[in-house]
Amino acid sequence: MASTEVSATRLYLGNLPKGATKTDVEQHFATHGTGEITEIKLMNGFGFIEYKDAMDARDVVPDGSDFMGERLTVQFARGSRQREGFGAHERSAPRPRRTPYRMQITGLPNDTSWQDLKDFARQSSLDVVYSETGRDANGRGFVEFETAADLKTAVEKLDNREFKGQRVNCVADTQPDFPRADRRSRSPKGRRPYGMPPDGYDRRPPPRGYSPRGYREDYRDRSPRRDYYDDRRYRSPPRRGPVDEYGPPPRGRYEDPYRRDYPPPDPYVNGRPYDRPPRDFPPREGGYGPREGFPREDYRRGGYCPPSNIHNTTPSIASSYPQAPPVTSFPTTRASSFATRRQYSHSPAQSSQVTEEMSEPTGLKAKSGIELLTAGTPNGYKVSILLEELKEAYGKEYTWQAINIMKNTQKEPWFTAVGANGRIPAIVDHDRDGFPVFEGLAILGYLTRRYDPENKFSFPVDSNEYDEAEVWMAWQHGGLGPMQGQANHFLRFAKEKIPYGIQRYIGESERLYGILDARLATRDYVVGGKFSIADINLLGWVNGTTLAGIDLDGQFPNVAKWLERCLARPGVQKGFAIPQKSSFSNAVVKEAIANDPEKKKQAEETAALIKEAKEKYGYKYASP
């Protein structure tokens, strides 16, 4: 019988999209509260999220919010949760199934997992019932098959085959037979019954659009398909219990608490406004969301316009950094509907403030001139900065569109026709029959060759400065950019903190900044004594060093002075505002640390983590 107890800290999540990950859920909930999340557990279409504090759980509850194109159901979970040491689980995990028909594989890479081994063995087109890698990291593993004939065939097919770049040897290693009680299947696909299923066993999957109550009530009497991560306690969403002061809304017309004052659109979901999507299934009963359906209109058509009071909306609790000021309206620009960075506090970024109509790009818009497809990243800013400088110097107008990289707009066919790599930035020169160019380094060269006739931001092709600029631009493109990007990943966004990765990439970034600092010790700009594309190519990355854990002022004073000179240019300032001003520039992050005690504490913890990682691996900064 289902428990009627309502958890104060644990929330049930319903109608989860198929591809949703724990990171997606954490980022979405961070836009509704700042409480500490202790656990996220995702099932097949639903899941649970648990907060450390009951007040944080009560404050968050974004029921009815738009999550990855689906209307998310969030309710307090019913029933107390069994934990280790407080009673046995209803069913213990099955033991692996074993057979005597074992194949030994040698010459494996040390990072091989049992799943990698199983996938490799399945290349023989045979059923693999068990796999195991050696625990002594000696490059040896074992795979077991159902029959002796399967074992023989697998050895013939897999011996001396390449696996992860190495040739492996496969030999039969038949073992004494095991008792039948020990034979259990080990497979992430679940426990498949052998032989005929028991009477009444129904293997049909849950019906599409399954609702916990009021829809397909006969489903509870069936035996649904069991996935490897399934748990009988979570076979179906919890039953409705008594409503308390923290419970879901009482039966009756649903009052949306977010209806009066919408927060900005969530940049990490889909770039659409925070509005409820249409319903296309029967209304749910007590405690499972709104009772009344929505019209079947397609709210995705034609993009959307934000509320007229977008600058006066109540900000998300997680959006604690100072907002960048509104972008100045330029005659030929289009505004973005999203932000492309994450919060310094490991939560999704607040939406940028823009003044023009937002739209979701679906194709090229301009008919003449340069059209820029970009996002607010270091590589995106370098092109917008150069275009603003060319506009100021020569009056060269251009058009831009903001690409939602978190929604993979850059992977759509219309974009890959311009940028085959599916990455921003990319440009189209409509004055040259729609000639496309992608990759930031190539775009800077193209624009200066075609539209900088006086070499104000470049150098004559036959000059030494031209070759020198190419050297430093290649140095950034192949060294500084990738290393700093990896430093950001391991320090801020990796699923787990790996000290070796942190010290490796931060250390290499610091080494490269040491080279740049030495270069700028006797000159104002990188090449030729003037501001050029060699400087523009670096600006987006150098202006984000604080986020990457690099102390520019303390370690590299010459680079810090150079950055200050570049940021004083009007063209640079305008370029950094397209498609929106970054919430993670050095100035914004430093201001947040200075004014917010919580951010200051986070910065201190991050510095301690970097120091600990360096000490653990004996890192010492060194540059020529």
DSSP assignment string, 255-291: --TTSSSPPPP-TTTTS--S-PPPP-SPPP-TTSS-S
Least confident span in 424-438, 530-544, 576-590: 576-590
Does residue 527 carry a pLDDT above 70?
yes
Higher pLDDT, 235 or 100: 100
∠152-153-159 over CA atoms, to 5°?
A: 90
Does residue 194 carry a pLDDT above 90?
no
Give the tokens for residue 623.
């540059």
How confident is the model at residue 18, as a pLDDT? 79
Place of tokens 């290693």: 173
| Strand (E) or helix (H) holding 15 | none
Higher pLDDT, 270 or 549: 549
Question: What is the strand order of the sheet 73-78 is part of?
Answer: 37-42, 46-51, 6-14, 73-78
Computed from CA positions of residues 462, 467, 473, 477, in that sequence, does the dihedral angle turn out positive or negative? Answer: positive
Question: Residue 277: is the preceding peptide bond cis (ω within 30°)?
Answer: no
Tell me which residue of 576, 305, 270 sits closest to 404, measured CA to CA. Answer: 270
Question: What's the rounded mean pLDDT across residues 445-453?
Answer: 96
pLDDT interval class at 623 (50, 70, 90): low
Least confident span in 88-97, 139-148, 209-218, 315-324: 315-324
State how far the Cα of 423 lies from the Cα of 518, in Å rounded to an integer: 32
Least confident span in 261-265, 360-364, 451-455, 591-595: 261-265
Tell me which residue of 280, 290, 282 sits closest to 216, measured CA to CA. Answer: 282
Highest averaged pLDDT of the listed ranges 156-165, 263-272, 275-284, 324-333: 156-165
Tens digit of each residue's pLDDT (9 = 90 or more) over 131-185: 888 766 578 888 898 888 888 999 988 988 888 888 889 999 888 755 544 444 4
Tens digit of each residue's pLDDT (9 = 90 or more) over 212-246: 444 444 444 444 444 444 444 444 555 555 544 44
Question: What is the strand order of the sheet 426-429 is part of?
Answer: 398-402, 370-374, 426-429, 435-438
Computed from CA positions of residues 466, 468, 470, 476, in that sequence, does the dihedral angle turn out positive or negative? Answer: negative
pLDDT interval class at 20 (50, 70, 90): confident
State how far the Cα of 452 lies from the Cα of 390, in Å rounded to an integer: 7
∠195-199-200 over CA atoms, to 5°?
A: 125
How confident is the model at residue 443, as a pLDDT? 97
- The helix/strand/coil state of 10 is strand
Does residue 71 carry a pLDDT above 70?
yes
Place of tokens 């026709």: 417
pLDDT interval class at 620 (50, 70, 90): low
Two domains, one topology: 1-91+195-318 and 101-182: yes
Higher pLDDT, 593 or 196: 593
Q: Which one-letter amino acid corresponds to residue 208?
A: R
CB count in 10 Å sphere of residue 571: 21
Higher pLDDT, 399 or 311: 399
pLDDT interval class at 92 (50, 70, 90): very low
**Domain 1-91+195-318, CATH:** 3.30.70.330
Write the CB contacts of 190 (distance below 8 Å, at least 6 apart in sequence): 225, 226, 227, 228, 230
Mean pLDDT of the chain: 74
How confident is the model at residue 617, as a pLDDT? 84
Does residue 284 carry a pLDDT above 60?
no
How confident is the model at residue 130, as a pLDDT? 85
State how far the Cα of 287 lies from the Cα of 237, in Å rounded to an integer: 12
Q: How far is CA 335 from CA 364, 373, 400, in A?
A: 14, 12, 8
Largest CA distance in the chain: 85
Tens digit of each residue's pLDDT (9 = 90 or more) over 366-408: 999 999 999 999 999 999 999 999 999 999 999 999 999 988 9
pLDDT interval class at 289 (50, 70, 90): very low
State how far the Cα of 563 lies from the Cα of 557, in Å rounded to an integer: 10
Least confident span in 72-81, 336-345, 432-441, 600-609: 336-345
Does residue 70 carry a pLDDT above 80?
yes
DSSP 8-state assignment for residue 36: P
Give the tokens for residue 495.
């699923």
How confident is the model at residue 474, as a pLDDT? 96
Strands 426-429 and 370-374, bridge-based pairing: antiparallel
Please give the span between the terminal C-alpha atoms of the chain, in angstroms, as a whole number.
71
State how far the Cα of 255 lies from the Cα of 249, in Å rounded to an integer: 8
State how far the Cα of 432 lies from the Cα of 288, in Å rounded to an integer: 57
State how far the Cα of 208 lies from the Cα of 583, in Å rounded to an integer: 41
Tell me the whole-structure pTM to 2 decimals: 0.47
How confident is the model at residue 206, as a pLDDT? 53
Does residue 90 carry a pLDDT above 70?
no
Query: What's the topology of domain 101-182?
Result: Alpha-Beta Plaits (3.30.70)
| Strand (E) or helix (H) holding 66 | strand 66-67
CB-CB contact of 117 with 109 (8 Å):
no
125: left (phi over 0), alpha (psi -120 to 50) or beta: left
How confident is the model at residue 238, as a pLDDT? 54
Question: What's the rounded mean pLDDT across residues 567-572?
Answer: 96
Q: Decide if domain 464-616 falls under CATH 1.20.1050.10.
A: yes
How confident is the model at residue 136, as a pLDDT? 60
Does residue 324 carry a pLDDT above 60?
no
Domain residue ranges in the chain: 1-91+195-318, 101-182, 464-616
How confident is the model at residue 250, as a pLDDT? 52
Highest averaged pLDDT of the listed ranges 213-222, 280-289, 435-444: 435-444
How confident is the model at residue 227, as a pLDDT? 46
How confident is the model at residue 178, as a pLDDT? 54
How confident is the model at residue 364, as a pLDDT? 94
Residue 9 phi, psi dihedral angles, 5° rounding: -120, -10
CB-CB contact of 538 with 581 (8 Å):
no
How confident is the model at residue 66, as a pLDDT? 81
Higher pLDDT, 201 or 418: 418
CB-CB contact of 108 with 142 (8 Å):
no
Percent of the chain with pLDDT over 70: 64
Write the CB contacts of 240 (distance below 8 Å, at least 6 apart in sequence): 78, 213, 285, 286, 287, 288
Residue 335 phi, psi dihedral angles, 5° rounding: -90, 160
How confident is the model at residue 375, as a pLDDT? 94
Strands 101-106 and 169-172, bridge-based pairing: antiparallel
Residue 101 phi, psi dihedral angles, 5° rounding: -90, 80
Q: How is 471-489 classified by DSSP, letter by letter?
A: HHHHHIIIIIHHHHHHHHI
DSSP 8-state assignment for residue 163: E
Higher pLDDT, 300 or 106: 106
Higher pLDDT, 359 or 540: 540
